[in-house]
Amino acid sequence: MTYSIEQLEQIASQVRRDILRMVHGAKSGHPGGSLGCTDLLTALYFRIMQPDASRFRMDGDGEDVFFLSNGHISPAWYSVLARYGFFPLKELATFRKLATRLQGHPTPAEGLPGIRMASGSLGQGLSAATGMAAARKLKGESRLVFCMHGDGELQEGQIWEAAMYAGAKKIDNLIAIVDYNKKQIDGPTDTVVSLGDLPLKWSAFGWHVLECKGNQMDAVVETLEKAVAATGKGQPIVVIAHTEMGSGVDFMMGTHHWHGVAPNDEQLANALTQIPETLGDYPDTY
């Protein structure tokens, strides 16, 4: 089915509520980046990729696949996966708790459907996505490979090893998305280690570069559709999405403070008043 922009916005609203409640429930986690990535992940799963959640297979043959490289935004990914139907919604209440499949950072080791690769230690996902994309070309599998990266993560050298390879070898069934919120744990990315001219860097590595507002659903969908249309033309594609860390919650925006801090009871209540419940909250207890 095709979800309208309005429907996608409703889903994203509910995902934001999930993120806040999960991180609050675990008393730990990364709400800021998760809220900033919400619209991208929602559009990707519900509109662009639309995988079959009822039959998750590791090789994903016949479907688009996704790798999350900045694993700390796991609350957003888990919520989108659950809302899409990969596993029961109530399982979101187990996030970061003992014996959960929803580990602090994602892993296939606990058998959670939808997850193909562990991430958390940063900079590794683009290589995995490139390998999957190269293998797909070999297999004659025409569906695409997507991956998502934080912007601070781009300080890792392996990202640029993979970027150089994918550009040089014309891995054109690959779409990378950069969550460009310009903040990381220690502060603004510009003061930690500036990424400089980011579009120029990717383009110098041989990538087709697209940019968009990452928290505006119509812009996200339009740009991701453009990215899909640009595949198969001899270049990998990167979408640099200008996002806001903490997007949707006034006191979490404009600061890097909420990178890895959980809201307390009062802060959660305040935040939830700012984000409409659209599809129903997941139950408090598992």
In single-letter form, the type of residue at position 130 comes to: T
For the bound state, the minimum distance from the C-beta of residue 130 to other proteins, rounded and expressed in Å, comes to: 6
Cβ proximity to other proteins, 111 vs 283, nearer residue: 111
What is d(CA 266, CA 138) in angstroms, rounded to the nearest whole number? 53
Q: Where on the chain is the footprint of other proteins (CB under 8 A)?
A: 58-61, 67, 107-109, 116-121, 123-136, 138-139, 141, 157-158, 161-162, 164-165, 168
For the bound state, the minimum distance from the C-beta of residue 209 to other proteins, rounded and expressed in Å, comes to: 20
CA angle at 192 for the pair 126 and 155, rounded to the nearest 5°: 15
Give the closest residue to 81 by CA, choosing from 51, 120, 114: 114
Dihedral (CA of 254, 260, 266, 270) sign: positive
Cβ proximity to other proteins, 143 vs 226, nearer residue: 143
- The CB-side HSE value for 181 (13 A sphere, CA atoms) comes to 33
For the bound state, the minimum distance from the C-beta of residue 37 to other proteins, rounded and expressed in Å, comes to: 20
- The CB-side HSE value for 265 (13 A sphere, CA atoms) comes to 0
In single-letter form, the type of residue at position 184 comes to: Q
For the bound state, the minimum distance from the C-beta of residue 137 to other proteins, rounded and expressed in Å, comes to: 9
Give the closest residue to 214 by CA, choosing from 76, 29, 24: 76
For the bound state, the minimum distance from the C-beta of residue 113 to other proteins, rounded and expressed in Å, comes to: 14
Cβ proximity to other proteins, 117 vs 212, nearer residue: 117
Cβ proximity to other proteins, 21 vs 101, nearer residue: 101
Packing angle between helix 5-26 and helix 74-84, nearest 10 degrees?
130
DSSP 61: T
DSSP H/E element including 179: strand 174-180
For the bound state, the minimum distance from the C-beta of residue 184 to other proteins, rounded and expressed in Å, comes to: 19
Cβ proximity to other proteins, 59 vs 250, nearer residue: 59
Cβ proximity to other proteins, 106 vs 152, nearer residue: 106
User: What does each C-alpha distance from 116 to 55, 68, 125, 166, 239 come to in angstroms?
Assistant: 14, 9, 11, 20, 22
For the bound state, the minimum distance from the C-beta of residue 109 to other proteins, rounded and expressed in Å, comes to: 6
Block residue for tokens 């307390």: 264
Tokens of 8: 């996608």
Cβ proximity to other proteins, 137 vs 213, nearer residue: 137
* The dihedral formed by the CA atoms of 269, 95, 221 and 171, expressed in degrees to the nearest 10: 150
Cβ proximity to other proteins, 57 vs 97, nearer residue: 57
Alpha helix positions (H), 205-245: 217-229
For the bound state, the minimum distance from the C-beta of residue 145 to other proteins, rounded and expressed in Å, comes to: 8
